[in-house]
Structure 1
Amino acid sequence: MYLTFDDGPHPVYTPQMLDVLARYGARATFFVVGSLVEAYPGTTQRIVDEGHTLGNHTWNHEALGGLSREEFDETIGRTQALLSRWGSTCLRPPYASMDASTRDWAAEHGLTVFTWDTSPKDWLQVSAQDISQHIVDYARDGVIMLLHDGGGDRSQTVVGLDSALSQLSRRGYRFEPLCT
């Protein structure tokens, strides 16, 4: 199962997510926003140091569908310049917003586009119980789960993730990074 986190790094919630992941020996992919990587380099380094991988999530969380080539290259290229030292080769378009050029232009930056299979929609401020139940209910081999470590109050996500990983770990699930 692939756990992915969008919209960070966040100085409060990303470390909490990392603590939960460490407790269960889980590894994940964090799709990070370039401006936040620049603001919180220590948190970003901790993600990598603990065995997780990074993916490009644009400079300022821009929707990629409809961007000009120049705008696309700016937001992706600027972020990729920060992430390249960690070998990042993945891109997740915010909101899954893409157009006919997105995958080709991403490939020219050496990036593969990934979206997700399911999400508890934690950006809607759902309860920890609902988040946990969704993760458990939709757990399957190879499923890509979208969660968030930034972009708002993620305290419920932290608690829900902990509960879900406790249950799924007992069932023998392994959690590996999507992007390697």
Structure 2
Amino acid sequence: MVQVITPDRRTAIRTAAALVATGTLAPAITNCTPPTATAKPPPTPTPSRPRAPTPRHFPSHPTHLTHGPRTNPRVALTFHGAGNPTTAHTLLTEAERHGAHVTVLAVGTWLDAHPDLARRILDGGHDLGNHTLNHRDINAMPEAEATAEITGCATRLKHLTGSIGTWFRPSRATRASPLVARLAQDAGYPHVLSYDVDSLDFTSPGAPAVTRKVLGEIRNGSVVSLHFGYPDTIAALPAVLEELDRRGLRAVTTTELLS
């Protein structure tokens, strides 16, 4: 069959050819499979370390905190973080078994020796704070040395967790001197955490004595001083937690106690 090209069709063909020649119109491509696009692999996520809570300012509470509100049936069990790491793991596990959360004030050199404990404490839902770098008598130090004790521990906490910790407690002292309190605030801690119940567990008086001391003084809002590293504390903690449950006193972190 002979195809007849009319004058109009001949003009259209010439026009299209001219447009292709000048680059105005792309030539048609037939019988060509479009190239398959190469899928880009998804970007590899950058691993990030979970950040720990940062210090909070509680305007209705003083710089030196010895207890929380007396109107709520909640208490804070606070532990000085040092000593045998096995003891620390045992005490944390026992608290969690009772649904309790605690506050750990860690010594910086202890964190150097046992860095995994920082995340163990936080992953258990507990507070983690600063108890100086070397656990020396900070109130007796000159300003430069006291500053180094506070910031040295803060640096280790930040390296391990992304935060300087939620609390500061002076070492070898119930309360911070005015100088140490100011240095702690300069380092980023709005409050100095003290306590109103001292378990005296560090004197190794025996588990029954630790239990009697804590349960004889604890009440709504109390902050209790305890220590890692002492067998008496391990033996006393179950009885303390069971009695707190019986009295309807809930053991919470210091942050929760004050919130």
When normalised by structure 1's length, the TM-score is 0.91
Moved more, 165-174 or 141-150: 165-174
Matching of residues 27-176 of structure 1 within 5 Å: 27-84=101-158, 85-96=162-173, 98-111=176-189, 112-150=191-229, 154-176=230-252
Shift of the alpha carbon at 1:45? Answer: 1.3
Give 3-state SS (helix, strand or coil) of 2:135's partner: coil
1:86 and 1:20 map into 2 onto residues whose CA distance is 26
Q: Which segment drifts farther, 80-89 or 138-147?
A: 80-89
Greater RCO structure (CA 8 Å; 6+ sep) = 1
1:177 aligns with 2:177: no
**How far apart are the structure 2 equivalents of 1:34 and 1:18?**
19
Instruction: Give TM-score scaled by structure 2 length.
Output: 0.65
Distance (whole Å) between structure 1 residues aligned to residue 111 and residue 119 of structure 2: 9
Per-residue displacement from partner, 1:125-171 (whole Å, max 9, x unpaired)?
11111111222222211111000003xxx111111011110121122
What displacement does 1:87 show? 5.0
| Structure 2 CA distance for aligned equivalents of residues 23 and 43 of structure 1 | 18
Q: Is the 8 A contact 1:27 1:51 kept in 2?
A: yes
- State whether residues 54 and 86 of structure 1, in contact with CA within 8 Å, keep that contact through their aligned partners in structure 2: no
Larger Rg, first or second structure (1 or 2): 2
Structure 1, gaps ≥5 residues long: none
Give the 3-state SS of the residue equivalent to 1:26 in structure 2. Answer: coil
Q: CA deviation at 1:64?
A: 1.2
| Unpaired runs of at least 5, structure 2 | 1-74
Which amino acid is 2:102 matched to?
A
1:21 aligns with 2:95: yes
Kindly indicate whether the alpha-carbon contact (under 8 Å) linking 2:210 and 2:236 is maintained by their aligned counterparts in 1: yes
Aligned-partner Cα distance in 2 for 1:136–1:99 = 29
Kept in 1, the 8 Å contact 2:127–2:253? The answer is yes
Count of residues in Structure 1 that have an aligned counterpart in Structure 2: 177
Structure 1 CA distance for aligned equivalents of residues 121 and 248 of structure 2: 24
Instruction: Please state which structure has a larger fraction of its residues in helix.
Output: 1
Sort the Cα spacing of 1:87 and 1:9 in 2 relative to 1 into closer, same or farther, 3 A: farther
1:60-90 Cα shifts (integer Å, max 9, x gaps): 1011113222212211111101223245131
**What residue identity is the alignment partner of 1:55?**
G
Structure 1 residues 162 and 51, CA gap change in structure 2 (3 angstroms): same
Q: CA deviation at 1:19?
A: 1.3
| RMSD between superposed Cα atoms in Å | 1.6
